[in-house]
Amino acid sequence: MADLALAPCGSYQEREVEQALRTAVEAADAMDFVVPGMRIAIKANLVAAMKPESAGTVHPSVVRAVVKLLRERGASVVIGDSPGGVYTAGRLHSVYQACGMEAAVEEGAQLNEDFSVEEVEYPGAVQAKRFPCTAYLLKADAVIDLCKLKTHGMMGMTCAVKNFFGAIPGTIKPEFHYKYPNADDFADVLVDLYEFAAPRLCVCDAVIGMEGNGPTQGTPREIGCLLVSKNGHLLDLACAGLIGLSAGDVPTLRAAVRRGLVGQDLSGYRVFGNPADFAVPDFRTVPAQSTVHFRLAGGMLGKIMDKAASRILTPFPKLVPEECVGCGKCAGICPAKAIVMKNKRPRIDRGKCIHCFCCQEFCPKGALKVGRLWILRLLGKSGPSPR
């Protein structure tokens, strides 16, 4: 039995997706926990009301295939998420419709209609020991993580673990960014949320991923596989490798390695399929935030040098003026209130900016990119140029 399975899938044709998923699930014996009558909640990546071809959300063909396999085993299925913004029926219905979730309903699933929230405690957490959680996840017998492989402005990559930020109601998400502006602290929050939810199975839609200005305004890029594992950290490790990243490049993976939840690489794990067959060496990634603490000198000089190094190594949101329509959504969503609108253009106060990239993620036109200082680009760090 494999710890991780990768199955080739060259399109979103329903028959091809179903066969690829069956192959991966069987190789990893990944649905052995499902019994008749079980209620399963699928936490899908439905980050916004985006059409499937944008590659910003899990494709409905993949959702449908997962539902079909679960229904065959006698389970009932509810699908949900909490994107940014209000967590209400009206908001989620528009997301479900845009993302093509009617395909899952046709296969026998329900779309989540329970928009209640419960305050939960997680004593084993490193950071998030108490937090509000979307209640539909708590009421299920088991949770399945259905994620999408994409770049991410703050975390470098979003996949299985980052997907569980969707357990936090949308309007409360900015509070977490403000409370945990440090990338490694926020990564620990994400790992805490994932570990609390304890998904029994993780499935990744990497048929077509998103490169460049992810996680919502990047470019679709063919990868050509589905990944399955009972360990989301292991799945993330494999996905990072497919797009040219290591565990050290992704804060959530750094946290998972530090906490003993996954190894530095795939050695020692049983892997079905050859990850090298699906690797995309020229995948356009973005640099995750760096947490650096240089102490080349003591006292005030050391603090100044540390601050300068952090500024050099930390990506920042950068406006491409010709793409901006002046809607002001970035200013409205900024948790640090670092953005003001002047002459219908956002002005970012770098001193207040906490580098959470909420503005970049929710800009409807993709006018905000992940920027880097020229010296970092000169050093050859990976990252997309605005286009």
Longest dimension (CA), the chain: 65
Residues 254 and 351 in one domain: no
Structural contact between residues 169 and 134, judged by C-beta atoms closer than 8 angstroms: yes
pLDDT (tens digit per residue) in 132-186: 999 999 999 999 999 999 999 899 999 999 999 999 999 999 999 999 989 999 9
55/152 Cα distance (integer angstroms): 13
Residues 204 and 325 in one domain: no
Distances from the Cα of 194 to the Cαs of 125, 200, 212, 256, in angstroms?
10, 11, 25, 11
List the one residue out of 156, 159, 86 whose CA is nearest residue 117. Answer: 86
Three-state DSSP class for residue 283: coil
Assess whether pLDDT exceeds 60 at residue 293. Answer: no
Residues 274 and 322 in one domain: no
* Tally of domains in the chain: 2
One-letter amino acid at 244 equals G
Domain-embedded: residue 384: no
Residues 36 and 139 in one domain: yes
Residues 156 and 78 in one domain: yes
pLDDT of residue 386: 32
Assess whether pLDDT exceeds 50 at residue 387. Answer: no
Domain-embedded: residue 254: yes
216/365 Cα distance (integer angstroms): 10
The encoded tokens of residue 229 equal 């594992």
Q: What is the chain's alpha carbon radius of gyration, rounded to the nearest angstrom? A: 20
Domain-embedded: residue 297: no
Beta strand spans in 247-307 (E)? 271-272
pLDDT (tens digit per residue) in 60-76: 999 999 999 999 999 99
Domain-embedded: residue 383: no
pLDDT (tens digit per residue) in 104-122: 999 999 999 999 999 999 9
Residues 130 and 214 in one domain: yes
Residues 255 and 193 in one domain: yes
Distances from the Cα of 163 to the Cαs of 42, 139, 156, 247, in angstroms?
11, 19, 13, 17
Helices (H), the chain: 14-28, 60-72, 89-98, 102-106, 135-138, 173-179, 183-197, 232-242, 251-258, 299-313, 329-333, 358-362, 374-378
Domain-embedded: residue 306: no
Residues 91 and 145 in one domain: yes
Average pLDDT over residues 46-67: 97
DSSP3 helix / strand / coil % (the chain, rounded to 5): 35, 20, 45
Average pLDDT over residues 261-279: 98
Name the pLDDT band for 289 (thresholds 50, 70, 90): low
Residues 195 and 340 in one domain: no
Residues 155 and 67 in one domain: yes
Residues 327 and 204 in one domain: no
Structural contact between residues 16 and 221, judged by C-beta atoms closer than 8 angstroms: no
End-to-end CA distance of the chain: 44
**DSSP category for residue 361:** H
What CATH number did the domain enclosing 329 receive? Answer: 3.30.70.20
Distances from the Cα of 185 to the Cαs of 126, 181, 191, 251, in angstroms?
9, 7, 10, 9
Domain-embedded: residue 95: yes
What CATH number did the domain enclosing 26 receive? Answer: 3.40.50.11440
Domain that includes residue 189, residue range: 4-278
Residues 323 and 265 in one domain: no
Structural contact between residues 175 and 335, judged by C-beta atoms closer than 8 angstroms: yes
Structural contact between residues 42 and 63, judged by C-beta atoms closer than 8 angstroms: yes
One-letter amino acid at 100 equals G
